[in-house]
Structure 1
Amino acid sequence: MSKRLTNFVKEEFYHIYNRGNSKQTIFHDKEDYERFQDLLSISNTVERIDMRVINKSKNISNHSTFKESPLVAIGSYCIMSNHFHILITQLNEKGGISKFTHKLTTAYSMYYNKKYTHSGGLFEGKFKAKHINNDRYLKYLFAYINLNPVKLIDLKWKESGLKNIDKTYKFLETYKYSSYLDFLHFSKENNFREESKILSLKEFPKYFPNSSTFKKEIITWFEYTKF
């Protein structure tokens, strides 16, 4: 087994991502997306959790999330049909990012394999990780990750520009499987919706202290058509 090249350091920032094996679809319906969202919270604990019990539950959001002992802090995320992105920083636990991601992908694979009678590896090997070593890149990733769904309605928008900005805004307002809505409807209590509890923004620079600053960042991205 190959050794991971990235050594995760406490309070450093990382962009982690992975996709389905051979680019296969791994999120087919609402239940799949919501299960992964729930697991983003439930897997984030130093405590041992019995994934067999969790994966039998139809109402997974009722499970304790052990927020008093998290492994990582999540600053942003996006779930697409065949891959996911997470902006993350490791907290007190040594190996926190690796432990969190192992719990997350193992639990989802167990759920997926049972639901779809699937066998073999679901994800494309180990998750990928990029160390974020400068402030500009970190701020860039908040927009990059949350705007990933735009390609679903305008595949070449970065190269050719948006065809319809109003349509894009409306689409993003309906896409529930990223942290976009949590930034768009930001509150200090972080309670716009149940999924807002996935995020822990106090460990990240305060680029967007309110929803208006996030909106300005999105407008800036939409004004520039090539990157």
Structure 2
Amino acid sequence: MQRGHNRQTVFTCHEDFAYYRQNIIECKETFGCKVYAYCLMTNHVHLIIDPGNTPEAISLMMKRISGRQARYLNTREKRSGSLWEGRFKSSIISDHDYLLACCRYIELNPLRAGMVEKPDEYKWSSYGCRGLGKADQLVDLDRYYLALGETNVERQNAYADYVTKTIPEKELDLIRSAIQRNQLTGNHRYSRQIEDEHGIRIVNRGQGRPRKTER
């Protein structure tokens, strides 16, 4: 997730959205990534990216996309300065437990913002592809989505039904917290798995500043 500097508007017209979207398409191919879901809001973006076996590909991809958008808008507006609020925030997702939930979460952003009443009314998200079957070169269909049915129509209907169901508050809190704090979106079992695979210790902290320690 990446926001505009000081939460300023990044996309002011159709051309701004379209330019950013086209750059995602080009860059995901350049860096060998897959994009399972996306939502471009007026002042921030949400992307679910699979970098394959090259984790650093996400940073390279986002750096190029963000830089292109900044140069594009600064040239058009004849200005200089930062477009984005620093580095993007990220969260590793436990795909088995939360990939579909995270896709749903970002595709419902326009509803939570009061911009539309139904997800299919918003043009700049992956819902049109995943829920309606519209062709979208930007979207790669993940294995959990493909497992929702044996045909395209079955998968679209099952996913549409899933998106419109009431989301548990615990799930919302977990995803929001993970994004804001750059923490894992997953349970304790998944955290231990990541720790074992990479030899690191993962601590998902709660809200507030860390407690000061005695010197």
Contact conserved, 2:96 with 2:144, CA < 8 A, in 1?
Answer: no
- Equivalent-residue separation in structure 1 for 2:95 and 2:32 (angstroms): 23
Q: Which runs of 5+ in 1 are unaligned?
A: 1-16, 47-69, 155-166, 187-191
Bigger shift: 206-215 or 175-184? Answer: 206-215
What's the offset of the Cα at 1:208? 4.0
SS of the residue corresponding to residue 177 of structure 1 reads coil
The percent identity for this pair of structures is: 25
Q: Distance in 1 between matches of 2:9 and 2:68?
A: 17
Give the 5 Å matches for 1:52-201: 70-93=31-54, 95-133=56-94, 135-153=96-114, 168-169=117-118, 172-186=119-133, 192-193=134-135, 196-201=136-141
1:16-31 mapped onto 2 (5 Å cutoff): 17-31=1-15
Runs of 4+ in 1 over 6 A off after TM superposition: none
Distance 2:95 2:126 in 1: 22
TM-score by length of 1: 0.66
Distance 1:176 1:134, change over 3 A: closer
The yes-or-no answer on 1:42 pairing with 2:26 is: yes
Q: Are residues 141 and 225 of structure 1, via their aligned partners in 2, closer, same or farther at CA, if it must alter by over 3 Å?
A: closer
TM-score (norm 2): 0.69
Residue pair 1:139, 1:207 contacting (<8 A) in 2 also: no
User: For the Cα contact (< 8 Å) 1:71–1:100, is it kept in 2?
Assistant: no
Change (3 A) 1:151 1:117: farther
Cα distance in 2 between the residues matched to 1:174 and 1:168? 7
Equivalent AA in structure 2 for residue 73 of structure 1 = K
| Larger helix proportion of the pair | 2
Higher strand share: 1
TM-superposed deviation, 1:124: 0.5
Shift of 1:93: 4.2
SS in 2 for 1:86: strand
The answer as to whether partners of 2:104 and 2:163 remain within 8 angstroms in 1 is yes
Asked if the contact 1:76/1:87 (under 8 Å) is kept, the reply is yes
1:76 is displaced (CA, Å) by 0.1
Q: Are 1:211 and 2:156 matched, yes or no?
A: yes
Structure 2: which 5+ runs fail to align? 150-154, 173-215
Shift in Å, 1:103: 1.1
Distance 2:17 2:102 in 1: 21
Matched length: 166
- The change in CA–CA distance for 1:142 and 1:207 in structure 2 (over 3 A counts) is farther
The one-character-per-residue Cα deviations of 1:183-207 (angstroms, maximum 9, x if unpaired) are 1222xxxxx33xx111112466635
Give secondary structure in 1 for the equivalent of 2:91: strand
